Amino acid sequence: MMVAESMSGLRGELSSNEPMSAHTSWRVGGPADQCYRPADLEDLQQFLATLAQTEPVTWIGLGSNVLVRDGGIRGTVILPFGGLDTLEITAAGRLRAGAGVACAKVARFAARAGLTGAEFLAGIPGTLGGALAMNAGAFGGETWPLVESVQTLDQRGELHRRSPAEYRVGYRSVTGVENEWFVAAELQLQAGDSSAAQARIRSLLERRAATQPTRQPSCGSVFRNPPDDHAARLIESCGLKGEQIGGAQVSHKHANFIVNLGTASAADIEALIRYVQEQVQQRQGIRLQTEVRIIGEFE
């Protein structure tokens, strides 16, 4: 990447034909036309103001809930991780975090500050911005019940403050205000025992390591859980653990994970997703819906 100094005093990093395999947890994905990693929120506002209103803009945090196809992404990709990194306790006692902060870091910060209720965030392998966009959850907790307010940014670079009442929030679903992106949130947590909260985080991470293929490239859970059931149970009941297409494999450790064995293409992973959907529908009569976002162009 190069520093975008020549563009109206911008301080972030701009690159062209940036391989998305470097920015996704599956380690696959073709090139984006251009990527911008902002220095901070003000820098991002200035950058967005330079773009045409018709420019396609895609945000990718830690790339843990996205499959970028091998043909890459047209338009501009924003990489907020490391730039939108606000993390503080406000005068009102709320936790304010930027969209580029890893969920696990939010959980640890809250626990050290003696605030409880966010421990489950340690099990979400993405940024807070991604968690807000999809109401991410883990270990029985979900993101939006914690949200007091959000700060958003539109493509003109203008900031807005929004309340949860302006959004329709469901299981792994958030809709409402269009053409704005989450850049920060204030979370309402409870005062509690810091040591107990930190111990709970350690326990959750140990549980995650024991039950999920954390040492292999994956996107986290691929499919949403159907009502009153679990996608992993349905997939395993069809005998699909270990099923493989190219370098993509249904994890032996957790059936709702697809791992990259090292040679997978995005096409391999997408083909395996479709195969699992077809098999579960044929054998169980249930069409699994993807939790992972599939974006970009076919090669």
Active-site residues, by number, are 172, 221, 291
- For 3, the token pair is 């520093």
Which of 11, 8, 29 lies closest to 19, judged by CA? 29
Tokens 């792994």 — which residue? 172
Helix count (H) and strand count (E) of the chain?
6, 21
DSSP code of residue 81: T
Task: Give residue for tokens 């920015």.
Answer: 23
- Asked if residues 161 and 127 have their Cβ atoms less than 8 Å apart, the reply is no
Longest dimension (CA), the chain: 58
What gap in Å lies between CA 136 and CA 86, rounded to an integer? 20
